[in-house]
Amino acid sequence: MHSPKTLKNLHARLLEWYQSFGRLDLPWRNLPTQSHTPNPKLTHIQRSYGVYVSEIMLQQTQVNVVLEHFYFPFLERFPTLKDLAQSSEDTLLHIWQGLGYYTRARNMHQTAQICLHHHNGTLPSSVAELTKLKGIGEYTAGAIACFGFGKCESFVDGNIARVLSRLFALSAPTATQLKDKAHLILNHTNPFDHNQALLDLGATLCTPQSPSCLLCPLSYCCQGKHSPHLYPLPKKRESIPLELHLGFVIQDGKISLVQSQEKLYFGLYNPIRLESTHLQNYRYLGSFKHSYTKYKITAKIYQLPVSYNTQARFFTQQEIQHLPLSNLCKKALQFL
């Protein structure tokens, strides 16, 4: 697969498939290009920001969820990186509700502020500078550089890693091996469509379970197609059980909430965390199951007496609707 002729054939087959079956209608793939505006610099500013928002949202969230519920409302509220930088963190977290992994939102806020003060209010265009920003790793930096600024960059996410692992029959590839393979097959003439095609191939055909090898444009040269389940070998993800005791004080029609300082829910409003002692003194309301990152949570909800000593703030039901709440808190509030 090292000869120019072989690579040219691979590029042609991949791009032909992408033009017919790729997800060409995704909005972050149809941002302004130089053909749409007389100002190429403005084009890159608009495009890179739209790509940046989509890539951060897609890090831990499915495409359909981002597309249907979050991408457009976010850009409507924060149409530019400057708007994002000048917003409050509470406003951002409120818009982010439901996406989870709130560290992403806080990193975006910090990155926007850094860019406002050190990069003239825009994202830098090089991978080296992008990776210096909060929450932007090598993949995200490569995607922004390629899709946002038109740079010829290769990069690897989970989907591309799976395609490369099967294409080269790598059962336990290192990050360096995957980066080398991605660079090896990079289409320098059309890196934008090439990388989008690899992403789509991994998302639609070269899936973790039951890949559609017969429909794959690269099956003719895929070294792992006869045993795709071996490439790469699956890694076991163990969940951590966690039991939480959560309480509310209701006083004068208002409900107590605490703005979390813990890493798990930093900046979000939650019920009062209770120790497992003295629970018998509180009114038990019920329990529910909840998953968050690697944790499998069992949450038990209590109503606390008005005399309970708390540093929590009190809010009306209407005020609560405008607070950045964790999904855990939303579920707990349903018991009141």
Q: List pLDDT tens digits, range 251-299.
A: 999 999 999 888 778 889 999 999 988 899 999 999 999 998 888 999 9
Tokens of 185: 């097959």
Q: What pLDDT sits at residue 34? A: 44
- DSSP 8-state code for residue 68: I
| C-beta of residue 328 within 8 angstroms of C-beta of residue 270 | yes
| C-beta of residue 280 within 8 angstroms of C-beta of residue 307 | no
Q: What structural domains does the chain harbor?
A: 1-21+154-235 (1.10.1670.10), 31-151 (1.10.340.30), 240-334 (3.90.79.10)
Q: Which residues are catalytic?
A: 55
pLDDT of residue 63 exceeding 80: yes
Measured between its terminal Cα atoms, the distance across the chain in Å is: 63
pLDDT digits (tens, 9 = 90+) for 167-190: 999 999 999 999 999 999 999 999
Tell me the whole-structure pTM to 2 decimals. Answer: 0.82
Collapsing DSSP to helix, strand or coil, 241 comes out as strand
Q: What pLDDT sits at residue 42? A: 53
Give the rounded percent of residues in the chain with a pLDDT score beyond 70. Answer: 96
What sign for the dihedral angle of Cα 149, 150, 155, 161?
Answer: positive
